[in-house]
Amino acid sequence: MSGESDLRKLLSGMRPELNEGRYVFCTVPGPAAPAGVTPVATVLESEGLTLVLRQEEADGAALPYDYVAGWITLRVHSALDAVGLTGAFAAALAAHGLSCNVIAGYHHDHLFVAVERAAEAVAVLEALAAESAE
C-alpha cells in the first residue's frame, strides 16, 4: 500500500502518538549494536553506528548519551516522497521553541523531542492537525 502524499491529508491525519518510555541517542564503533541492546533505530555513519534506544538499555550497557527524548509517532502512513510534512511540523514545533529529531520509517515518521516537553509537542502537533482539517 502506498503512503499518502497530499500535504493537507498528511497534516490533518497525523494522529501523533507518544510512545511510552525515555529514549536516547548513543554511538558505538563498527556496524553492529552491542549484545543485549535492541535499538528502535540505527544509522550507520562514518564515525560509528548511532543507536536510538530506551534509556534503561543504554544505562544497562553503560553507553553514554547526552540527550533524553520522548518518542512521538505520526500515525498517518506518509509516502517516502511526500513533500512538506517535515517542514510543516518542524516549523510548528520551532514556533514553540521545540527541537525535534526525525526518523522516517517505511510507514510513519518518528519524532524525538526533549522528554520533559514531549506532551507539549504532541499538543502542538494535534493543533496543527486540527488547523489543517478545517
> What's the CATH superfamily of 7-133?
VC0802-like (3.30.2130.10)
Q: What is the pLDDT of residues 76-127, one digit of tens each?
A: 999 999 999 999 999 999 999 999 999 999 999 999 999 999 999 999 999 9
- 62 pLDDT exceeds 70? yes
3 state DSSP class of 86: helix
Q: Which residues pair with 70 in a beta bridge?
A: 113
Would you state the pLDDT for residue 71? 98
Would you state the pLDDT for residue 115? 98
Would you state the pLDDT for residue 2? 82
∠ CA 32-33-37, rounded to 5°: 155
- 1 pLDDT exceeds 70? no
What residues does each domain of the chain span?
7-133
SS3 of 9-62: the string is HHHHCCCEEECCCCEEEEEECCCCCCCCCCCCEEEEECCEEEEEEEHHHHHHCC
Band (pLDDT 50/70/90 cuts) for residue 59 is very high
Task: Look up the pTM and report it.
Answer: 0.95
